[in-house]
Structure 1
Amino acid sequence: MRILASLIAATVLLPLAILLLGLWQGQRGTDDWREFATEHDRLAAAVADLEARAPRDGRPDFRLQFRHDGHLYGGPYAVVKAREARDEAGTLAAVMDWRRILPPVAVLGGGIAATLSLLVLVVGGVLGQVGRTSRQTLVHGFSLVRRLLPVVLAAQIVAATAGFVAIVLFEAGLLIQGGFTGGGAKLLGLAAAAAGGTIIAAGGALIGLRQALVAFEPEPLPILGRQIAPAEAPGLWRLVEAIADRMSALKPEALVVGLTEGFFVSAGPAVLEPGGTRLEGRILYVPLPYLALMRVDETAAIIGHELAHYAGGDTAYSQRFLPIYTGVGRSLDALLERERGGLGLLGPSVRLGLFVMERFHLAVRHWSRKREFAADAAGAAATSSAASARALLRSGAVRPGIVDVLGTAAAAPAAASSDLVAAALDRAMARGLDDPAARLEDGQAHPTDTHPPTRERIAALGLAVNADLLTAAGAPPPARAREQLAAYFTDPSGLCRAATQDFLGAVQAREAAARAHLEATAAEVGPEDRVLRASHRARGLAFAVSGGFFAAAALPLALVRIPGLSPYEARTILVVMLALAAVFCVAGAFVLARGEPITLILSPTGLTAPGLDRVIPWAAIADLDMTLSRGGIAMRLLLTPGADWPKRVPGRHAVKLDPKRRIVTLTVGLPRKMKPQDFADLIARYQAAHQARRLLAERAPIATPAVPLETHPA
């Protein structure tokens, strides 16, 4: 209930608050306009009276008086000030009349935003429930959401932004009567900044949402493996086709074998690596290490499970689902990129998108569980419930050993076995399998679904997890396990060696690409030091130009008598302007004389600041952040516990040391022709280059680091 209340408050009540403010402002706007219009009419009458009483011959009549804002004006000046007051009141009355347009905009914007929020909440919740009735309904419902959600969110953003800006401008209208000086000008500036920032953030979000509507085409599924023809794997093809016939399921159009991953099926485009061969249609992937380590009936049960996904249309469903999932996700990304700059107004749209995504996830999870249970039942029907239960447990028990063998080979490909399938089998025979009981809660993570835990899947088969089942699932493979591959393939040894070469080649290609990237990153920073100098030239020239301006302005006062100024007033102004000219010129000369002092020296090994007695190595910086300050850019360096602590050197330097928190703060003047982002990017390049050199030094010339290769149960 607390989460629901928070969601409703953020998505419905916040726009309603804009609506209510608009209603309140509507009454105030009418009252303000009436007050200023009345004041204008009063002043117009006063002007008319003064003009009627003024002498026609132009003689001054000091009996004419006009009191305004606590001041009393007499004679001809009374008429002048009365006219000024009347015109000012007329302008303010016109502004107040214009202000009356804004509250209806706020009311309309808040109402539309609240209505759309409520609509999305209701429709998203209903679709989440209705989507559980059938997968077809789920796909159709959320296909509609995928197309309409960005449009609805865009309309809500426009409505909420219009309402907020109308409220801000309405309140800013009252500040105009105080003029454009002092606190009123500051408040007007803040109001303009708030309105402008909100409009910019909303515009960026709308552009992002428009781009999110572009049709999404899923990338081909990359598979590390090779296609196997019936002539190369007659036994495996016979097993697959026999199970498909037994289940009345569609047969795969291609079989792909490899070392990584578990069994899976695909019905979309795929690309095989290495080589880049493209495949279309129904594909069944079979991992060679599993074929060697699992019994034939267990393998048959897993293949039956996978083929059941074809029978149930699961692969076609996943293909239709992925563009929807990605489209909604991209819409949310477009909002999240702009949320900070929107003064909280984009928050409701983000919350609505997350709510729809959550309803989506719950419905998908519902069908994911049902289809996995149904596929398990189909696999059990093609073999037996006992075989299916053992397959679930044994696939989890053999997985860690396979990952260990492949990871070791990836870490040192030059020393790896030429047949990693045989290596995985030897390891299992020598060290046994992992305890299958430890894998009972395992599930399979996937971008579009979630497999239920193994314990639940076994229970759905009508079996209990007992000691006999765990013992059978965790038994080491027998010595004749090597012969199993011969029953599937004509040349199992050659195929396993070829698959091993594919795997090691992919590892080495990945390592080469990673090394090339690191070398390019390290090469972005040269071996020589880079000296950064603060540029005071622009400031010095500004001071000098200001001094010249005051001197030029003082020249007419010294040479020509200005009408309306007494000699004393002229001398006073002249002295003040010459003094200002002298101050600015001296300040400019002082700043220019400083030249371009060194503020920072960057080297491949670290950075040097003039106020410190030693270089701070990049390796010693645990964290670094920057903020803009009056003096330039404040850099806060958090040093690692074991790093040497620097000391201040004598002199006036913008350096602050905090030994207790191990923070060094440097205030650095912005280098010439460099923006703050350019400076931040430069520091980031030096840090990235140091990190790249460190990683390159840790890597052996031939060996490669372990690759996170994960295999999955069926």
Structure 2
Amino acid sequence: MKRIIRIFGFSLLILLYGFWQCFRSFSGVMSGGKMVRFILSELGMAASGMAIVIGISALLLCYLCAKLARRSQNTLIFLFTLCRRLLSFMMVAMIIFGGLAFIAIVLSELIWLATTVNLHRSSGKAIIFALCIIGSTLWLLFKSVGALRKCFALFKASASEIDGHNITEQQAPLLWQWIRQLAKQGQVVTPDNIVIGFFDCFYVTANDVRLRNSGEQLKGNTLYFPLTFAAMMSREEIAAVIGHELGHFTGDDTQYSLRFAPLYAGIQNSLDQISRTARGVSWIDRVVLYPALETGLWFLRSFHETVRYWSRIREFAADTAGARTASPEALVSALLRISALDDVINDCLEDVLTGKAKDNDILAGLVASASNLPALDVRPFMEEALTHPTDSHPPTSQRIAALNVTVSERLLNSAARKPDARDHQALMALIASDEGNIVASMAQNLIQRVKQHREALRARLETEAAQPSETKMFWIRTKDTWFFLAIAIILFAAGGFITLTARGGFEYIGWGMVAFSVMFSLLARKHYVDSRKPLYLFSEQGIQCQSVDGIFKWTWMEDAFEFEEMLGSLCIVFRCHSHVPLPEVHRRKSGIRPGKNNTYIITIPDPMFTGESDKRLKIKEQEFIDHFRQYYDSACAREALQEF
């Protein structure tokens, strides 16, 4: 219901207000000004009515297309593409008609102001203010339409980036020969490219691919072959997984992967970009732009269940191809084993990326370290789903049930077995090349890139760690104390005079003014006390302030800062790591204060001053944020260098 209100609420209000304006225009004598108001109100009603009609049409279009898209994957692709193209024009029209309706109503009120009220100074200011609102609305319309056109009409899927090596048939004839045999046995399509690497798991893609380390561009169907997983799996398990992945290139699945998947994955990014680039005055932004954005989100939600429906069917069909390529038991064993090996492989790769790996032969070191670990526990992964770079999978238990495989102890023990060096040796024989040891060359290249990256990272961290070394103090303005005190004195004097001289109940007004004078005097006292001490004191260790006992350390904060405006002041909102012991924070004292949902808030008063107590310099809000970020980055850099 809230989404419906967000889409149609503004237009309905304009429509009802336009009806009321027309009724007001007919009352009394119809003058020239009233006739213009009547015409503008009619235009506002017509524009808001068009926005409502377009919104209803967009919702019905999304709903009907999402229902019809269950007929086939080709139907899904056609209807999704159709919806996406039509919806871009509908969203533009909703923004334009909503903005025009708003402008027409504001202009009608300006006509009333100009014809009914004498144009003295105050009414002139009101007209200028209304014209500013109209200008802001027009500017928002211009930006919004440009953002929609750019994000929807010009959206194209970019090439996927992979860290790996394109292994040709000349380099690994045995691997290609085996893949062709598997494709024939599973009745699936042979890939155009095979990329081997150390990261990610088995997957295929029909999109263009760019290799990160060489810059080589690949077109056609690409199979990613992860050496890390393959080195600890049997040949039959690898065959079942490859048969499953190549099954995605069969029938309608190819077009689904090539045309639909990148569009569906990128549409949310397009909507986010529209929201960021077409943001104007906050309240105008809500009433004019949000109905169109909500319509776009409705479009995504309408197709979400249909996409999940076809994703499940695709995965089950690909599982059938994998079982046909090897056996259903081999595929089930591979699914469970891949899930259990994921953490083991990630730990090994983390050692490589952090320079802690002792063996330059990444695969040999991985197999050796995994062999020393306890047996794998695959049972917890029965209800989990495998991760995939561009798609989603059903839970493993559902896939096992669809294959009609009974999970026996023998199958579980097979999936949970310790890595065997013979599997690693079989893999190396399969990708043996006359051009030398390709895997060793890849490992050496990766280690060299990691070394260069870490050297550059260390230099950057050392530079950041050395930047702010002195303690920096931040103060609030002291003259506000005298302002509050002056108000307290005036209220006390005026209230006292009224209390002593007034009769007939007016003396209570005087007592109220005296009470307010006490409140302002207490506020002046608090402000005086706060201004005598730094509001914030930044040091290498953290932040000191009146509300925190001790030091609020920089390293306690998560690197995800948000900036919000609260009660007229800009605030930094952040969270802390869950494992750190946080000090007590006093709500009624100045400084860092706790917020909602385990957040903390740093308020930036305007104006703010920095320096010693006897020599303070005024700074802007952005300068304070820059200091805050610099001290935070420096502390994080010092902590990272300790673990380097």
Farther off after superposition, 270-279 or 104-113? 270-279
- Residues 393 and 473, structure 1, Cα contact 8 Å, conserved in 2: yes
Matched residue, 2:397: 455
- Residues 54-90 of structure 1 show CA distances to partners (whole Å, capped at 9, x for unaligned) of xxxxxxxxxxxxxxxxxxxxxxxxxxxxxxxxxxxxx
Residues 1:380 and 2:318 aligned together:
no
Residues 1:291 and 2:230 aligned together:
yes
1:143 Cα deviation after fit? 1.7
1:102 Cα deviation after fit? 1.2
CA distance 1:514–1:442, change in 2 (3 Å): farther
Amino acid in structure 2 at the alignment position of 1:251: T
Amino acid in structure 1 at the alignment position of 2:33: V
CA distance 1:362–1:30, change in 2 (3 Å): same
Matched residue, 1:690: 631
Matched residue, 1:143: 81
1:293 Cα deviation after fit? 1.2
Find 1:421's aligned residue among 350, 358, 363. Answer: 363
- Residues 249 and 311, structure 1, Cα contact 8 Å, conserved in 2: yes
Alpha-carbon separation, structure 1, partners of 2:342 and 2:562: 41
Alpha-carbon separation, structure 1, partners of 2:83 and 2:463: 44
- Residues 36 and 111, structure 2, Cα contact 8 Å, conserved in 1: no
Matched residue, 1:352: 295
Residues 1:121 and 2:62 aligned together:
no
What is the Cα-based RMSD across aligned positions, in Å? 4.4
Q: Secondary structure at the match of 2:413?
A: helix
CA distance 1:515–1:129, change in 2 (3 Å): farther
1:321 Cα deviation after fit? 2.0
Amino acid in structure 2 at the alignment position of 1:314: D
- Residues 476 and 605, structure 2, Cα contact 8 Å, conserved in 1: no
- Residues 226 and 272, structure 1, Cα contact 8 Å, conserved in 2: yes
Find 1:17's aligned residue among 13, 18, 41. Answer: 13
CA distance 1:522–1:150, change in 2 (3 Å): farther
Amino acid in structure 2 at the alignment position of 1:378: A
Q: State TM-score, norm by structure 1.
A: 0.68
Farther off after superposition, 491-500 or 397-406? 491-500
Find 1:95's aligned residue among 33, 37, 45. Answer: 33
- Residues 110 and 127, structure 2, Cα contact 8 Å, conserved in 1: yes
Matched residue, 2:309: 366
Q: Highest relative contact order (Cα 8 Å, sep 6+), 1 or 2?
A: 1
1:610 Cα deviation after fit? 14
CA distance 1:294–1:455, change in 2 (3 Å): same
Amino acid in structure 2 at the alignment position of 1:407: E
Q: State TM-score, norm by structure 2.
A: 0.75
Q: For 1:257-336, list aligned pairs within 5 A.
A: 257-322=196-261, 324-325=263-264, 328-336=267-275
Q: Secondary structure at the match of 2:143?
A: helix
Name stretches of at least 5 consecutive residues in structure 1 with no aligned partner: 38-92, 536-598, 647-654, 672-677, 705-714
Alpha-carbon separation, structure 2, partners of 1:145 and 1:513: 47
1:23 Cα deviation after fit? 2.4
- Residues 168 and 195, structure 1, Cα contact 8 Å, conserved in 2: yes
Matched residue, 1:619: 554
Amino acid in structure 1 at the alignment position of 2:406: A
Alpha-carbon separation, structure 2, partners of 1:207 and 1:213: 10
- Residues 580-616 of structure 1 show CA distances to partners (whole Å, capped at 9, x for unaligned) of xxxxxxxxxxxxxxxxxxx99998859999999xx99
Alpha-carbon separation, structure 1, partners of 2:640 and 2:204: 36
Residues 1:221 and 2:163 aligned together:
no
Alpha-carbon separation, structure 2, partners of 1:398 and 1:608: 43
- Residues 235-268 of structure 1 show CA distances to partners (whole Å, capped at 9, x for unaligned) of 3222211011223432223222111111112233
Amino acid in structure 2 at the alignment position of 1:129: K
Farther off after superposition, 175-184 or 115-124? 175-184
Alpha-carbon separation, structure 2, partners of 1:427 and 1:351: 51
Residues 1:504 and 2:437 aligned together:
no
1:344 Cα deviation after fit? 2.5
Amino acid in structure 2 at the alignment position of 1:687: F
- Residues 311-352 of structure 1 show CA distances to partners (whole Å, capped at 9, x for unaligned) of 235344322125533663354224423274424232221211
Alpha-carbon separation, structure 2, partners of 1:527 and 1:167: 58
Matched residue, 1:560: none
Q: Secondary structure at the match of 2:287?
A: coil
CA distance 1:332–1:521, change in 2 (3 Å): farther
Question: What is the aligned length?
Answer: 565
- Residues 495-532 of structure 1 show CA distances to partners (whole Å, capped at 9, x for unaligned) of 44333223334434554565566567679x67789999
Alpha-carbon separation, structure 1, partners of 2:154 and 2:87: 14
Find 1:6's aligned residue among 2, 19, 23. Answer: 2
CA distance 1:231–1:511, change in 2 (3 Å): same
CA distance 1:387–1:605, change in 2 (3 Å): closer
Q: For 1:508-587, list aligned pairs within 5 A.
A: 508-511=451-454, 514=457
- Residues 601 and 607, structure 1, Cα contact 8 Å, conserved in 2: no
